[in-house]
Structure 1
Amino acid sequence: MNYQIREEAGFRYVDEGQGDILLLLHGLFGALSNWDEVITTFSKRYRVIIPMMPIYEMPIRQASLEGLLAFIEKFVAQKGLNEMTLLGNSLGGHLAILYTFNHPDQVRRLVLTGSSGLFENGMGGSFPKRGSYEYVAERVAYTFYDPKVASKDLIDEVFEITSSIPKCMSIVGIAKSAQRNNVAKDLYKIQVPTLLVWGLNDTITPAEVAHEFNRLIVDSELHFIDKCCHAPMMECPNRFNELLDNWLVRHPIYDEQLSVTN
């Protein structure tokens, strides 16, 4: 999809469509392309916003979950966003959870897919090795049920990232920060409708992780997609969008506001 990358006050982001706000947060190795089908489908009826998180540009000392959360908070404040639906994949889901903890008044709905925060098997059990294209290709393919989804362009992008010592240090710092930040004891705080969409064959955040999120988040609904791994919105976009669309319709923000008012 062709979409404009906007720049404002040091932020780079996508802002497409009009209507209720869907704020999308990508994962550690994520990119805007991860959300192509979501943008195409939902920007016709919603305002879809995706901040490009500075995962590889952050100073090493700030390369952490806390540093990325502060970035998102500044972005939301800069854009004056409110009454949002947060959608997060992998690390982006973890950040969406933390944002909801800190700003419950701004979040109306939450969507998690392959979210970290309870348990994650990063890159198949090890951090990426620099200089080995074959290793990176294998690890990227590991995140998909169908290895063919791991296109050469995607592998090249991850290889370029892991070939940089500063970028690798940022990745390791953020990944370790995420592993330290277990949200289990605080998930009761999430009181907004929450959709969990999981790949049944997820190797990074396995199916039992989804069941645990479902158990700990009071108003949550869990759906699995078969023959799908860690990024359902990429690997099974039609089914992911169908589940998301149906759920959004059944949980309108307007009705939620009325119930709070009454």
Structure 2
Amino acid sequence: MTDLIVPALLSASALAIQAAASRRLAHPTIPVIHHRTATIDGVDVFYREAGSADAPVVVLLHGFPTSSHMFRNLIPLLADHYRVIAPDYPGFGESDAPDHKTFAYTFAHFANIVDELLGRLGATRYALYVMDYGAPVGYRLALKHPERVTALVVQNGNAYEEGLLAFWDPIKAYWADDSKANREALSVLVAPGTTRFQYVDGVADVSRIDPDNWRHDQALLDRPGNKDIQLDLFRDYGTNVPLYPAFQAFFRAHQPPTLIVWGRNDTIFPAEGAHPYLRDLPDAEMHLLDTGHFALEDKLDVIAPLMRDFLDRSLSSH
């Protein structure tokens, strides 16, 4: 009888071990996201960081009017294989917002600050996820250090004049004549209705969009002095356009592996700005998604698997 019981107990033990292993596979370890600050150029720059220090680096660069908050759901889906770094530019999110009269709110300055941050963190090679404002910040970074860019993920981030359509007409008028009237005409871009519009326009099912997004962003836009910060940046965005040929030359010369995941219903950066990438990056993978500007909020379930597959293939040698 004892001889029969022992094998049965061993078999039960083996089954229990197998069951525990299956549970571990079904419930993987959740990556820890660290929320940190570095003082750069006299400003406390906030950033989110997750993943192993020796893993390939993925830098997430946010758009207007949000912050690294836009990546809060994506970061855990990447950090098991990648070291993820997502900064807030000065004037955005949890970073300091010094007075615009004493601090230069320019895309060149933002690129230099992100460059300094990555240097301090020992990130000497990195893939870039660029969205909206993140595109000129990231592409300026690429011009400074083209050899460091291992891949690009482009989400509604412009580098071609074809992408600057009717929405940009009042902003272009401000570039041409930075009068008080033209400046004040852009105040609508920091109004609550516009902030909400950026999240819901072009989205078929608005119930997929967390309203905390625009309420969070608007609370930060409404901080004293922040309107002038944003108006300064609307003006300075015009300095990016003359760099478009240089950005495009970088694409042609270096051919970084590129994934384009673009909300095709975006009013701000419409799909007309996505297609020209293929002129300079003919091997880029393009997915035009049925959503709007903040595609990641609506289509995380589509973008995250595409991005994981792309990064796993593109960075396997890095």
Query: What TM-score, normalized to structure 1?
Result: 0.84
Structure 1 residues 187-198: aligned runs within 5 Å: 187-190=248-251, 191=254, 192-198=256-262
Q: CA deviation at 1:93?
A: 2.0
Q: 1:131 to 1:27 in 2, by over 3 A?
A: closer
Structure 1 spans left out of the alignment, 5+ residues: 258-262
Q: 1:146 to 1:93 in 2, by over 3 A?
A: farther
Match of 2:149 in 1: 107
Query: Which amino acid letter does the alignment assign opposite residue 83 of structure 2?
Result: R
Match of 1:181 in 2: 240
Q: Is the 8 A contact 2:36 2:46 kept in 1?
A: yes
Moved more, 19-28 or 134-143: 134-143
Moved more, 15-24 or 33-42: 33-42
SS in structure 1 opposite 2:296? helix
Q: 1:64 to 1:149 in 2, by over 3 A?
A: farther
Q: CA deviation at 1:224?
A: 1.2
Query: Which amino acid letter does the alignment assign opposite residue 129 of structure 2?
Result: L
Q: 1:5 to 1:200 in 2, by over 3 A?
A: same
How high is the sequence identity, in percent, across the aligned residues?
A: 19
Q: CA deviation at 1:99?
A: 0.9
CA distance in 2 between counterparts of 1:177 and 1:145 reads 33
Match of 2:13 in 1: none
CA distance in 2 between counterparts of 1:170 and 1:23 reads 24
Query: Which amino acid letter does the alignment assign opposite residue 206 of structure 1?
Result: P
CA distance in 2 between counterparts of 1:49 and 1:246 reads 19
SS in structure 2 opposite 1:169? helix
Q: Which has the larger radius of gyration?
A: 2
Q: CA deviation at 1:87?
A: 0.8
Q: Which ranges of 4 or more aligned residues in structure 1 deviate by more than 6 Å?
A: none
Q: 1:134 to 1:247 in 2, by over 3 A?
A: closer
Which residue of 40, 43, 50 corresponds with 1:16? Answer: 50
Query: Which amino acid letter does the alignment assign opposite residue 90 of structure 2?
Result: P
Q: CA deviation at 1:250?
A: 2.4
Query: Which amino acid letter does the alignment assign opposite residue 6 of structure 1?
Result: R
Match of 1:204 in 2: 268
Q: CA deviation at 1:153?
A: 2.2
Query: What TM-score, normalized to structure 2?
Result: 0.71
Q: Is the 8 A contact 2:38 2:117 kept in 1?
A: no
CA distance in 2 between counterparts of 1:151 and 1:219 reads 34
Instruction: Give yes or no for the alignment of 1:77 onto 2:119.
Output: yes
Q: Is the 8 A contact 2:195 2:218 kept in 1?
A: yes
Q: Is the 8 A contact 2:200 2:209 kept in 1?
A: yes
Which residue of 283, 287, 307 corresponds with 1:223? Answer: 287
Match of 2:305 in 1: 242
Deviations 1:179-227 (A, max 9, x none): 331243121222111221101212211111000122233542221112x
Q: How many residues align?
A: 254
Structure 2 spans left out of the alignment, 5+ residues: 1-29, 172-184
